[in-house]
Chain A
Amino acid sequence: MNSSGSPFSSLDDVWQMASTDSDAVLLTYVRLSRNAENFRFPSTEDSATLMELVDMARQAAYDNGLFADYWHDRGVEFCLGDLNYTERRFLEESFQLPYQLIVRAEPHQVLFSSGDGCENIVVNGRDHFVFTSVLPGCQPFLALGRALKLEHEFSTRIIAKYAYDEELGYLTTRPEDAGTGLRIGVLVHLPGYLSTHRTSAFKDIAKRYNVTLKEYRWPGSNVYVIENTSAMGKSEEQIVMSMHRYLELLLMQERVGRETLWESENALMSDQICRSLALLGSARLIDWQECAMHLFALRLGVSNGIIKNLDHRLLNYLAIRVFPCHIALEAGMEFPHKNESAAVRHKMMTEIDSCRARLCRKLCKIWQIDFPSSWE
């Protein structure tokens, strides 16, 4: 598996998709959880019975035409139990899959993915079938439509029926997901919002829209994830609409914050952008948190029009590409498992950091960013 070669060679094309609000929103993901009737949920069912479900899913994918007709022969199957730790982490980084699924991969856990990686079906993860749609930028309705379409196409091809209750809707392993089984999230870069010091107010507002706003995995990069908290009591469209309304409020605040930040802290901001560029262009070792932080500083420069020859879409894509396992796979290395000794982990991580720094230096040379002449 290689991020730049097959099977995800067209991943780059996906990130070129035009989307609104890509100056702040990195990506949108939707997960729809379903379970088969008359089977125990994956956490309690035995492996042999879960393999029956995998066979049913394979029948739907290969014999009943999901791959051929719906994904135009571009579908790919990954048996998670056959992949090594680095490859599984690569899938997690790419598709926003739950981390638990990647850590404990079993032979009965399978991932079906469309060639471009935008649509996926996870079999026997937390639930029997999880349909995901991951799109760059802010595209919640499109992501929902694609996930629902995928679920429909799959359900018409599989012989298993879904566990469904008239009152409680689709029944899932976690009661929090019951109802629609829908989890929608967006990754947003919010440096301006933080500067307005209205974070607690927005966290209160989030409760009204039934969403949560929490910091994503890049510490210090001001990237947040907004996700719905309830999958019950509203239709799929209403849940997405509610999340979208909250996002619009937040983005409005974010843009006001960015303008204020730029006006009040002009020298500081421009200094930060230049430093980030210099660091990316000359570092010999750079870890992914630091790299993400500097890439997001560049985003700010693009948003404010200081950096002309860069695009948000490219920076969004790079934010994913600098993840450790993307770098490790591309360089043909292994990502150290947590069971490795500290010395081995350190050595391997240093090699990955070195590869990442090389990628950043190369990109900075290609970009040849010109700053305003007034700065000279």
Chain B
Amino acid sequence: MMSGHDGFDDDNAAVLCCHCHRNPATVKVAFMSDAGGVLNEHFLCEPCASEISPKLTQGLSPEELSELLREFFGSDSLDDMITQALDSSNVVGNLEESDMADITCPYCKTTLRSFRKTGRLGCSRCYRVFRDVCLENIPLWPGDEVARHVGMCPQDGASVSDRVLHTTRLHALRKQLRLAVRSEDYLSAAKLRDQIKRLK
């Protein structure tokens, strides 16, 4: 395994740091995986690079290095590192069109070309790999600038469905009440009003 610390080509100047996701990356850190001999590259900004750089030159054992990578990049597995590198460095959004077509999700092997053709992603990790293209495909509401989920989450459980069903019942009763008042059926209207009060 080796670690590198070098400058950047002009083509990649706009890539964002894959650790903080905020600053433009100016440093490339490359690791050679022992198992597959695959070169993994990460793009970092100056502050993040200066944070990890002293640690990498301390002569760590493979276990310690693995732990350090897990902490810094979120995971040390090859697939996750590749996915994360592609994802967080916003590679998809910054490469030339011809290069983008060859970008492949390391988990499901879906290519950007096939996604563009079919409009379908192969797995949930594709959302990270093809992030920018995915965001382009998500229709936004008038006035919204970024796609952001505001609906229910898995932890919400029954509360949302119960609330919706409750509102539905209330809505139906209110409609019946309006009809009863319109037809001057005040006895039914009074009963409906009481039901609505109880439900509230």
Contacts and interface: CB of A to CB of B under 8 A. Distances in A.
Interface in B95-141: 107-110, 118-124, 127, 134-135, 137-141
B46 to A, nearest CB: 27
B164 A175 contact: no
Contacts of A207: 142
B182 interface: no
Contacts of A163: 124
Nearest to B170: A141
B182 to A, nearest CB: 14
B120 A233 contact: no
Nearest to B142: A208
A152 B159 CA distance: 9
Given A40-B107, A210-B141, A235 B121 contact: no
A167 B121 CA distance: 17
Given A20-B175, A40-B122, A232-B138, A141 B108 contact: no
Interface residues of A, number: 52
A233 B108 contact: no
B167 A229 contact: no
A234 interface: yes
Nearest to A237: B164
Given A152-B158, A234-B151, A236-B151, A37 B124 contact: yes
B168 interface: yes
Given A41-B108, A168-B138, A178-B149, 12 more contacts: A41-B121, A41-B122, A139-B168, A156-B157, A166-B149, A171-B124, A173-B121, A176-B139, A179-B147, A210-B139, A232-B139, A236-B151
Contacts of A174: 119-121, 137
B139 A235 contact: no
A209 B150 CA distance: 17
Interface in B155-170: 157-158, 160-165, 167-168
Interface of B: 107-110, 118-124, 127, 134-135, 137-142, 144, 147-154, 157-158, 160-165, 167-168, 171, 175
Contacts of A236: 151-152, 160, 164
A145 interface: yes
A144 interface: yes
Given A175-B137, A233-B148, A164 B168 contact: no
Given A230-B138, A233-B148, A41 B165 contact: no
Contacts of A328: none
A240 B122 CA distance: 28
B123 A178 contact: no
B121 A233 contact: no
